């Protein structure tokens, strides 16, 4: 409390301490939760609720993280070399404050520090790390998390090519942060206002590179589509990319177009969540649109919806796997015949990408979840994960990018239109080529995250023999994976009908996730398999929780 420069969290903590001192059991438990642990680097760096405490996101924790990361970069650079770090931030509460604190601490530690000129999408920061030849990048964002969350994503340049941190760097950074925290006073850390603010040339370069992913064909002129930024920072940059690439301007969901840290029109600012795209569906019906494009709040994810008379309201959101396979098909056709070219996806994404790679003579890699792994696949020309993340231009951005993937999807829609077909027709064409794949997901959001560990432990101690009525042929615990194979807290079951079920804790949210994939002759058959397995998974989880 003494070292916290933020009066809001100081006052918040003072109130809890006062109640705890009087014997309030709730306040004592709150203190234990806030200070019994530290936020650790996970799939996307630091991420957590905004509040006082070492287990929350606040100015004390961010200062410790910045100073620790600076020490890591100085050590990594070696004697006589001054590291460069670039910082970006989105429109969430405290994002600019955390970014400015970090810039002052990096500069105070002797690093060349470049702050992006204003709030911008995460992909612009990922691009800037490579474009500026920086040693590292930091993006202050919590992506699609609830409104009161924020986070700190870390990227490394040089041999890491602007990808997110992986082991052993994460542990080394954490050790430096612990040493800073142990000193107990962030006010003693050197700060400097001698940092640079990047000019618009960085943003302009991103816009040119991203527009070049899929310049608009002639058929794009009649494309009628809707866009929503989900209260995030995507619109300004994306609208410039769309214009530069030559696509017609979209009809917009105005209530969600500009940054709003309260995310007032949605329960969760994640296009995957039920109800999050209802306003875009209404807008699409009103204007007779052919397509809906949505970004999440920091614009590193892409959601797509298409007309569907069988769906409630006449529109349905494509699954992450449907989009991922379409974009993978596009990449495979472009890369066919390129020696060493590969497609990559997380191990919980559709096995259909492997079928596409095989059909076009490309290499294929399955990785652990997270683009810090996907982006490092050898020879990658395209990568995706089913949680609406797509990497379509690895030469410029080594992370998921909801803007470049949206441009690629617009290009596919325009090309289809020139043949008199739709995105739905493209899905049918792909199915005819590689077979029918369907996927589903069952998620449990918990208040007590220890429940997730108990369920995973129970599954390991007493492995199920079946999911619903379908026997399990084999089970793999990826904590015990062989050297060289993806290793993590993941259980993978292969079933007698050829389907697959994977169970893992979320790396960014208090959720247990179960992924279901099936392959059949027809889409309807594959979907029936998935539906039956979803019922079986829910029954299994209910019994364990």
Q: What are the residue numbers of the active site?
A: 143
Helix 320-335 vs helix 352-359: crossing angle, to nearest 10? 10
The neighbouring-strand residues paired with 505 are 512
DSSP string over 393-411: -TTT-SS--HHHHHHHHHH
Structure tokens at 96: 């600019």
Strands 315-317 and 342-346: unpaired
Per the listing, tokens 């994460």 go with 170
Q: Which of 118, 110, 161, 101 is nearest to 137 (CA)?
A: 161
Return the C-alpha torsion angle 330, 350, 522, 316, nearest 10: -80
1 and 17 in contact (C-beta within 8 Å)?
yes
Question: CA 22, 26, 32: angle at the middle one, nearest 5?
Answer: 95
Q: Which of 99, 105, 46, 100 is nearest to 74 (CA)?
A: 105
The beta-strand segments (E) located in 220-334 are: 225-228, 251-252, 291-295, 302-307, 315-317
Rounded Cα–Cα distance for residues 205 and 333 (Å): 27
Rounded Cα–Cα distance for residues 185 and 163 (Å): 31
């Amino acid at each position: 409390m003494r070292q916290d420069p933020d009066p809001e969290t100081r006052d918040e903590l003072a109130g809890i301490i006062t109640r705890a001192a009087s014997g309030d059991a709730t306040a004592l438990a709150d203190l234990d939760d806030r200070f019994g642990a530290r936020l650790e680097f996970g799939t996307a760096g630091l991420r957590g609720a905004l509040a006082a405490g070492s287990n929350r996101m606040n100015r004390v924790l961010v200062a410790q993280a910045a100073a620790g990361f600076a020490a890591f970069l100085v050590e990594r650079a070696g004697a006589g070399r001054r590291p460069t770090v670039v910082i970006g931030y989105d429109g969430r509460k405290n994002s600019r404050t955390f970014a400015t604190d970090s810039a002052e601490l990096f500069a105070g530690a002797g690093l060349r520090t470049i702050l992006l000129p204003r709030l911008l999408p995460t992909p612009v920061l990922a691009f800037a790390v490579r474009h500026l030849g920086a040693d590292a990048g930091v993006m202050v964002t919590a992506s699609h998390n609830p409104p009161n969350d924020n986070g700190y994503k870390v990227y490394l340049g040089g041999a890491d090519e602007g990808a997110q941190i992986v082991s052993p760097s994460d542990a080394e950074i954490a050790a430096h942060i612990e040493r800073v925290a142990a000193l107990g006073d962030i006010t003693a850390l050197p700060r400097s206002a001698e940092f640079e603010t990047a000019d618009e040339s960085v943003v302009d370069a991103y816009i040119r590179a991203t527009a070049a992913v899929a310049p608009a064909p002639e058929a794009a002129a009649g494309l009628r589509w809707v866009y929503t930024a989900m209260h995030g920072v995507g619109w300004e940059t994306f609208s410039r990319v769309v214009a530069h690439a030559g696509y017609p301007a979209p009809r917009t969901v105005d209530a969600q177009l500009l940054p709003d840290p309260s995310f007032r029109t949605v329960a969760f600012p994640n296009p995957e969540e039920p109800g999050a795209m209802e306003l875009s569906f209404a807008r699409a019906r009103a204007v007779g649109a052919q397509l809906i494009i949505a970004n999440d709040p920091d614009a590193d994810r892409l959601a797509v919806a298409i007309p569907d008379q069988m769906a409630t309201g006449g529109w349905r959101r494509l699954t992450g796997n449907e989009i991922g396979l379409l974009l993978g098909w596009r990449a495979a056709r472009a890369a066919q015949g390129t020696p060493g070219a590969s497609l990559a996806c997380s191990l919980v994404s559709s096995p259909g990408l492997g079928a596409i790679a095989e059909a076009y003579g490309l290499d294929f890699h399955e990785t652990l979840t997270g683009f810090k792994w996907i982006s490092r696949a050898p020879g990658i020309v395209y990568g995706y994960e089913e949680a609406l993340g797509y990497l379509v231009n690895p030469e410029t951005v080594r992370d998921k990018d909801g803007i470049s993937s949206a441009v690629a999807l617009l290009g596919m829609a325009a090309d289809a239109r020139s043949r008199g077909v739709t995105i739905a027709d493209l899905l049918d064409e792909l199915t005819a080529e590689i077979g029918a794949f369907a996927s589903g997901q069952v998620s449990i959001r918990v208040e007590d995250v220890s429940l997730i560990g108990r369920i995973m432990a129970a599954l390991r101690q007493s492995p199920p023999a079946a999911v619903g009525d379908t026997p399990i042929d084999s089970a793999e615990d990826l904590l015990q994976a062989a050297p060289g194979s993806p290793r993590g807290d993941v259980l993978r079951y292969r079933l007698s009908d050829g389907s697959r079920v994977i169970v893992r804790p979320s790396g960014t949210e208090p959720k247990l996730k179960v992924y279901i994939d099936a392959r059949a002759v027809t889409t309807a058959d594959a979907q029936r398999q998935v539906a039956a397995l979803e019922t079986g998974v829910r029954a299994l989880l209910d019994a364990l929780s």
